[in-house]
Amino acid sequence: MVAERNETKILLAIVENDPLYKQALESIFSLSPEFELTGLWGDTETAVREISRRYPHIVLMDIQLPVIEGIACIRKLKKVNPAIQFLVFTDYDQDDELVFDAFKAGATGYLLKKDGPELLIKSIKELHAGGSPMSRSIARKLINFFGRYPAIDGKEHLLTKREEEVLALLSEGKMYKEVAAWLGITMETTKKHIKHIYSKLEVQNRMEAVNKWRS
Amino acid sequence: MVAERNETKILLAIVENDPLYKQALESIFSLSPEFELTGLWGDTETAVREISRRYPHIVLMDIQLPVIEGIACIRKLKKVNPAIQFLVFTDYDQDDELVFDAFKAGATGYLLKKDGPELLIKSIKELHAGGSPMSRSIARKLINFFGRYPAIDGKEHLLTKREEEVLALLSEGKMYKEVAAWLGITMETTKKHIKHIYSKLEVQNRMEAVNKWRS
DNA sequence: GTTTTTATACCCCTTTTGGGGTATATAGGG
DNA sequence: CCCTATATACCCCAAAAGGGGTATAAAAAC
């Protein structure tokens, strides 16, 4: 049901600082019938400026020093165009925090340059299909990360009674002011409850909250 | 902690076309210590214009010919301020559709003028307490209503294929621009599809659409 | 061979939503 | 007794959603 995405090309944009890689990537993707190269930029500033006019499905994002710049670029672009998938393409895999920050910023894939072009192409397809391709060492880091923290959950008393009431009314499609009227509180208080709900469930809107709560 | 709103009087507004009733109602409610008459209007236009400045708890709504006007007035006011409770106060109880339309528009009480002032006062209190007061004949109509239709629904080809795709993405909590990106169309076109979906399903928002479609 | 439906794109506008604060009062746990 | 969680209320602000148009082209229906 998720449409005929398979019939169309994968729209790819590339941010690559290294001129050699830049040329190599261009020759790979500009000629392939499965991809359409909608952008090829050498720096993040140009990328930020151009990307909204190119609307790629995937952005292959080279991250070099300064690392912060690439991460910030992903975060910025992800905020504007949440639909775009970012595949980090870098040499750096030693610094755990860098890797985590990339994912926090919105990257959904993390590939090392040494992995080679075949895996790169495979990863882009995988990413476009909804997957999260990453190099083995990166995957290991992610797994280990969850060992660092006690893996909280519980979930039973995640939401308070009042918050559950609010969420139940939200799930019926009621507007904030209707929820407020129903509970006999002001709309601002209703908003406050909703903000807490979203924060606790780590979601950004009503639909996601309801889905998460129902699941 | 429960909102310092209704410890005191019931704030009542009245829309009554008939001058005689208007006077009678005023004398009843303007003197009663339990009620405070925040508005007394002879026509719906004035009511619509004034009501947001008077913030009543309850609106006693006279419905006369043309019936459509009174119904529309309730719908309009309920949309603006869902917290207000509407008590229909009319002579008409023969036309079933009229009664149902009043409830659909947002009325939560339906009283006939012939029921008399004691029941009127009792009904307003009942409404304010969260109840749904109505004349016996009206209650009967409501009950019978559910026997009228086999409670089925065609539902087969109500939405087009594309519209179903859009709705599926909406049900995941995706923003318009994400849906657009996913389907490879513009956000404006996405909005157009969504408008059609809401119109066909007779709903006003994403949550209601998803609920209706899933049911 | 018109007419209708579907899908697309873009315009206008208002309302709703979501996220960031601050502040008060109260109930409970350390 | 302090401190946190809960529930309430209010502020500001930007983004998203929703509702009203118009218009074009292709496909389906009549």
Q: For residue range B9-63, list pLDDT tens digits in order.
A: 788 899 888 888 888 888 888 888 888 888 888 877 777 777 777 778 888 988 8
pLDDT in tens, A53-98: 777 888 898 886 555 567 777 877 776 777 788 888 887 776 666 6
Give the tokens for residue A153. 């959950």
Which of A83, A172, A181 is closest, CB to CB, to B82? A181
Side chain identity at A35, as an amino acid letter? Answer: F
Contacts 24+ apart (CB under 8 A), A89-94: A89/A16, A89/A60, A89/A61, A89/A62, A89/A63, A89/A113, A89/A120, A90/A62, A90/A63, A90/A64, A91/A64, A92/A63, A92/A67, A93/A135, A93/A137, A93/A138, A93/A141
> In terms of Cα–Cα distance, which of A200, A122, A113 is closest to A162?
A200
Is residue A15 within 8 A of residue A22, CB to CB? The reply is no
Q: What is the DSSP letter of B95?
A: -
What is residue B5's predicted lDDT score, i.e. its pLDDT?
40
Q: Which residues of B touch A207 (CB under 8 A)?
A: 170-173, 206-207, 210
- Alpha-carbon distance A183 to nearest alpha carbon in chain B (angstroms): 10
Is residue A58 within 8 A of residue A79, CB to CB? The reply is no
User: Strand D neighbours with CB under 7 A?
Assistant: A 157, 160-163, 183, 185-186, 188-189, 191-193, 205; B 1-5, 175-177, 191-192, 194-195, 198-199, 204-206
**φ and ψ of B40, to 5 deg:** -145, 100
pTM beyond cutoff 0.75: no
Residue with the bigger pLDDT between A142 and A205: it is A205
User: What is the mean pLDDT of the segment spanning A37-47?
Assistant: 82
What is residue A192's predicted lDDT score, i.e. its pLDDT?
93
Based on the number of CB atoms within 10 Å of its own CB, is A167 exposed (0-12), middle (13-18) or buried (19 or more)? Answer: buried
- Alpha-carbon distance A116 to nearest alpha carbon in chain B (angstroms): 28
Q: What domains are defined for chain B? A: 10-142 (3.40.50.2300), 151-214 (1.10.10.10)
Nearest residue in chain A measured CA to CA from B129: A184
Three-state SS at B111: strand
What is residue A67's predicted lDDT score, i.e. its pLDDT?
54
> In terms of Cα–Cα distance, which of B31, B54, B128 is closest to B40?
B54
User: Strand C neighbours with CB under 7 A?
Assistant: A 175-177, 191-192, 194-195, 198-199, 204-206; B 1, 79, 157, 160-163, 183, 185-186, 188-189, 191-193, 205
C-alpha to C-alpha distances, A36 to A16, A39, A99, A141, B124, nearest whole angstrom: 16, 9, 28, 32, 67
Report how far residue B53's alpha carbon sits from residue B38's, in angstroms, rounded to the nearest whole number.
Answer: 9
Interface list for chain B against chain A, based on CB atoms closer than 8 Å: 2-3, 5, 81-83, 164-165, 168-173, 175, 177-178, 180-184, 203-208, 210-211
Report how far residue B111's alpha carbon sits from residue B90's, in angstroms, rounded to the nearest whole number.
Answer: 7
Those nucleotides of strand C lying less than 7 Å from any protein Cβ are: 5-11, 16-23, 26
**Distance in Å, residue A154 CA to nucleotide C27 C1':** 23
Nearest residue in chain A measured CA to CA from B81: A177
pLDDT in tens, A196-211: 899 888 888 999 899 8
> In terms of Cα–Cα distance, which of B80, B84, B99 is closest to B15?
B84
User: What is the mean pLDDT of the segment spanning B164-180?
Assistant: 87
* A:B CB pairs within 8 Å: 75
User: What is the mean pLDDT of the segment spanning A91-119?
Assistant: 76
- Alpha-carbon distance B19 to nearest alpha carbon in chain A (angstroms): 32
**Distance in Å, residue B174 CA to nucleotide C12 C1':** 25
Residue with the bigger pLDDT between A152 and A167: it is A167
Percent of chain A predicted with pLDDT > 90: 7
- Alpha-carbon distance B208 to nearest alpha carbon in chain A (angstroms): 5
Mutation pick from B86, B204, B207, B212 vs chain A, by most beta carbons of A within 10 Å, is: B207
